[in-house]
Amino acid sequence: GDVIDLVNELGVTCVRYPGGNFVSAYNWEDGTGPRELRPVRRDLAWHSTETNAVGIDDFYRWSQKTQRRSCLPSILAHVGSKPPWTSWNT
């Protein structure tokens, strides 16, 4: 789509998700599984609603489709959720 075309045009090689201040309160487990079952949460960084319509699984599939290297912030490894991030990532 439009985003893939723009990423190709710009020559982007690595895409980070989630990024910025948003990542400090992001729970990676909220972005897994079927979209209709993902929780809606308050985004503390932007004082808005996070629907989790796009999650880690979606980002991973997108990065594979676009042949981009995915960069996942290491802070996701210690949000205190179970099962640990590292087991999903292997």
Q: 10-63 pLDDT, tens per residue? A: 988 888 888 777 777 788 889 889 999 999 998 887 889 999 999 888 888 888
Residues whose CB falls within 8 Å of the CB of residue 16, separated by 6 or more in sequence, listed in order: 70, 71, 72, 73
Question: How do the domains of the chain map onto residue ranges?
Answer: 2-85
Fill in the DSSP letter of residue 33.
Answer: S
What confidence score (pLDDT) does residue 90 get? 47
Identify the CA nearest to 4 among candidates 64, 71, 73.
64
27: which 2 tokens?
């729970």
Q: 58-71 pLDDT, tens per residue? A: 888 888 888 777 77
Strands (E) in 1-90, as ranges, are 14-16, 41-43, 48-50, 69-71
Q: Which amino acid is at 75?
A: I
50: which 2 tokens?
């996070």
